[in-house]
Amino acid sequence: MVFTNSMSIIGVMYFIFLSAVKMDKSRIITAARNSMNVGLTCFIVPLIILFSLLYIFRNSITGIHGGSFHLFLSASSSLSYFPVITDAASELKMLTSELGTIAMSCAILHEILGWFLLSLSLILQGGDPRHSIQSVVAMLVLMLFIILVLRLMVQWIIRRIQEGKPVGELYIKAILVGPLIMGFLSDMIGATILPGALIMGLIIPAGPPLGSALVEKSEIIISELIMPFMYIRVGQLTNVYSITDWKAFTTIQFILLAGFLGKIAGCLSSLLCSNNGGVRNSFLLGLFLNTKGVIELSVILRWRARKLIDEPFYATLVIYYIVVTAIVTPLLQIFNKPQARLEATSSMKNTTRSLQATMLTSELRIMCCFHYEENVHGIISLLKSCNSTGISPMCVYAVHLIDLVGRAAPLLHPYSSQRKRFKENSTDRIMKALKTSLIKGSSSQVTIQPFRVIAPYNTIHESICRLAQDKYIPLVLVPFPENLDTHGRKSALHSFNILMQAYAPCTVGILVDRSLPRIFCSIYFTYNIGVLFLGGPDDREALALVSRISGHPGVSITVLRIDLRGEKFENQSEKYLDDCLVSEFKARNIGNTSVVCRKLVAENTMQVVDSIRSFENNYDLVIVGKQRGPSSQLEREMLPWVENKELGTIGDMVASPDCCGGMVSVLVMHCAVGGHVNVTGSSSMTNSDERSRFISSSSSFDNLDHDLSVENVKLADKKRDVTICTQEIGKSGRNAYGTLVPSHFSSRAQHMSPYKEHLGHSALG
């Protein structure tokens, strides 16, 4: 019994310590301020209800000792503790969801209120007032010692940790002893063991290098070996047969249920009055904030140990916490579906954010995701080739993706390289490389917006999709995880790419980077690109990107159109769109000696495979589309041999060692307009379904078509060669999906006949 009690205390102490380590201290005040209204309402409303009912039914409730205990019971039941909320959000995969973010912000505010109530309890706990004042002063002295002395020692340890090297075992052991000592001192002062362990954890920065190392080395031992003793202790002290006064039991449960409903009512009133959420989300937030866990159990254990409550009352509280958790958790799992919301978002009209719908004379917004510093070089080469000019600038949203290790809550925020830090981190080096290569000493018009996302890899795509939607980004570039086994997260990165293709509201490009490091020079930059065009929405997106790249003087482009003879099209408009876009590309590049177009007619799938495998090995990059469609003969016959589903049949073939010796970089394009992709990488929507869905919503583009037509007519007096494209947009500026087709893809095949005799070797036949 004594051993179980001691281990339970140690388990709770280290649980609080690790929760404080994983808390992002720099955002405590910001998060509390952002959730001030809903957080305070969710605390004050149940507090008033609980305290009023406890006072009204004080004669019917037995088992409570202490005059001010009604206030502490009401406050404790009204608070939502940050470690409990983050643990629940992690288990329910809600860390990156909007609901989880609001709940954790409210929990941070409640933590601040809890610290204030702890200080108040030291004063009101009874006894000699002089002793209470001495306890408060001693606690303040202990806090100052931890903050002023131990915090400096922690910073000294962080400065001694070498980049990429593991943290020394001596440092880990010394820091892990700290919570035991500080918890013992805070308990000896007259408070609980929790404040000492909490403050000790708050002085350690979250994340790498020190915070992540502490969590990785101790979390499993604490959660799997030590914490079960706390649950055993709770069960040993719970005697349901001690409940004999069922009237008091019913009264207590009624009061606690009223507090439960009061917190939901507080969420509803606060969010609805501020127009920040609907009834459903407000109700789910109220359920989430009613989640009970380790902190609540440790609090009632302490009440029982100090005989503030008797055995029946303790058993009543335990039963209430178990029932609430058993009800709240399934309800959150059933009604909160962040993946379903992303899927619904990706099936709306904003899926027309594609390169085909981006004007050549408008700003091109590209989001580039980086997992590690090794991903920077290949993406920089691709961005350098995108031909950003004064009339066609480029805005790069550089996002460094970091796995949630050593932190409790996810984070998505703009990254400032000017902020002072202990030492330069990987994000600093990534952003510095981008600025040095794309901006400094370059005449190109490039703007870089740096971001950093810290979240679990199984849900990090939600943050990226929301950011792409908010910033109206037509293209997201993500690296393919190759030769990264040393990092130990290759499978998680594969899953991330598949989820991005499934839920992104724009085009996703997966870059398989096999290029050698090079010195970037804005004047002598050269790049050789090959394009495999077999048709379909994904290949058209690839051609749209190449059309923008073709204006770069240092880039050579070879387009190989492969026509599989005998393949039938369910939707003839697909073939028509392919022909129109290819013809438009040819017309744009008349006289451009850096662009070569060829055509290959294949009798069967094997000829297609042989032609791709014999592709010349002199390209820096090969761009392909992920898939043609579910009815494609090539897709059906080659799918069993595909190793990486996210690359598609052609992309996986080009990226294999059998093609070009496995030394060529590959960019695989997938267009969100071309159909929804499930997590296995296969198409889940037919072309007819997708066409009818987008045609039904195409009426919203009528005014936009008219505005573009009028605007381009004004420019026709200055640029005679724009007239044909302008007239075409006014007549039929919408493709088969209801997507507005920009000027560089809008002219029809009948305008191409005057130019055919001039194409020479660049003609596709």
Lowest mean pLDDT among 109-123, 294-308, 358-372: 109-123
What is the pLDDT at residue 103? 86
pLDDT higher than threshold 60 for residue 521: no
Distance CA 329, CA 334 (A): 9
pLDDT higher than threshold 70 for residue 196: yes
What is the pLDDT at residue 714? 35
Q: Which two tokens stand for residue 589?
A: 């590049």
More confident residue, 425 or 79: 79
- Asked if residues 713 and 720 have their Cβ atoms less than 8 Å apart, the reply is no
Dihedral sign, CA of 212, 213, 219, 222? negative
Which residue's structure tokens are 């030394």? Answer: 663
> Which amino acid, 52?
S
- Asked if residues 70 and 99 have their Cβ atoms less than 8 Å apart, the reply is no
pLDDT higher than threshold 70 for residue 345: no
Ramachandran area for residue 278 (φ above 0: left; ψ -120 to 50: alpha; else beta):
beta
Cα-Cα-Cα-Cα torsion 289, 292, 293, 298, nearest 10 degrees, comes to 120
Distance CA 42, CA 632 (A): 55
Distance CA 73, CA 452 (A): 41
Average pLDDT along the chain: 76
For the chain, give the longest Cα–Cα distance: 103
Q: Give every CB contact of residue 141 below 8 A, 6+ residues apart in sequence.
A: none
What is the pLDDT at residue 510? 93
- Three-state SS for 735-753 is CCCCCECCHHHCCCHHHCH
Bond prior to 209 in cis (omega within 30° of 0) = yes
What is the pLDDT at residue 277? 63
What is the pLDDT at residue 5? 85
H helix or E strand, kind and range, residue 374: none
pLDDT tens digits for 57-89? 888 887 777 667 788 888 888 988 888 888 888
**Could you tell me the pTM of the whole model?**
0.69
What is the pLDDT at residue 166? 80
pLDDT tens digits for 125-139? 555 667 777 777 888
What is the pLDDT at residue 660? 67
What is the pLDDT at residue 615? 66
Angle at 404 between CA 403 and CA 409, to 5 degrees: 145
Q: Give every CB contact of residue 301 below 8 A, 6+ residues apart in sequence.
A: 8, 230, 233, 234, 237
Q: Give every CB contact of residue 340 below 8 A, 6+ residues apart in sequence.
A: none
Q: Give every CB contact of residue 164 below 8 A, 6+ residues apart in sequence.
A: none
- Measured CA to CA in angstroms, residue 512 lies from 18, 475, 663 at distances of 38, 16, 10
What is the pLDDT at residue 688? 35
pLDDT higher than threshold 70 for residue 36: yes
pLDDT higher than threshold 70 for residue 486: no
H helix or E strand, kind and range, residue 327: helix 311-335
More confident residue, 443 or 53: 53
Cα-Cα-Cα-Cα torsion 590, 591, 593, 596, nearest 10 degrees, comes to 20
The residue-averaged pLDDT of 519-538 equals 77
Dihedral sign, CA of 247, 252, 255, 257? negative
Q: Give every CB contact of residue 24 below 8 A, 6+ residues apart in sequence.
A: 206, 407, 408, 409, 411
CB atoms within 10 A of CB 630: 15
Half-sphere exposure of 398 (CA within 13 A, CB side): 26
More confident residue, 625 or 100: 625
Distance CA 290, CA 321 (A): 10
Dihedral sign, CA of 412, 417, 422, 424? positive
The residue-averaged pLDDT of 705-712 equals 34
The residue-averaged pLDDT of 319-348 equals 73
User: For the purposes of burial, counting CB atoms within 10 Å of the CB of 520, is it exposed (0-12), middle (13-18) or buried (19 or more)?
Assistant: middle
DSSP code per residue over 427-493: HHHHHHHHHHHHTTT--S-EEEEEEEEEE-TTTHHHHHHHHHHHTT-SEEEEE---S-GGGT-HHHH
Q: Which two tokens stand for residue 130?
A: 């002089």
What is the pLDDT at residue 567? 66
- Asked if residues 512 and 480 have their Cβ atoms less than 8 Å apart, the reply is yes
What percentage of the chain has pLDDT greater than the value 70?
Answer: 75
Question: Within 646-752, where are the H helices?
Answer: 648-655, 687-696, 702-716, 723-732
Lowest mean pLDDT among 192-196, 379-383, 521-525, 527-531: 521-525
Angle at 66 between CA 60 and CA 69, to 5 degrees: 80
pLDDT tens digits for 466-476? 888 888 899 99
The residue-averaged pLDDT of 737-764 equals 34
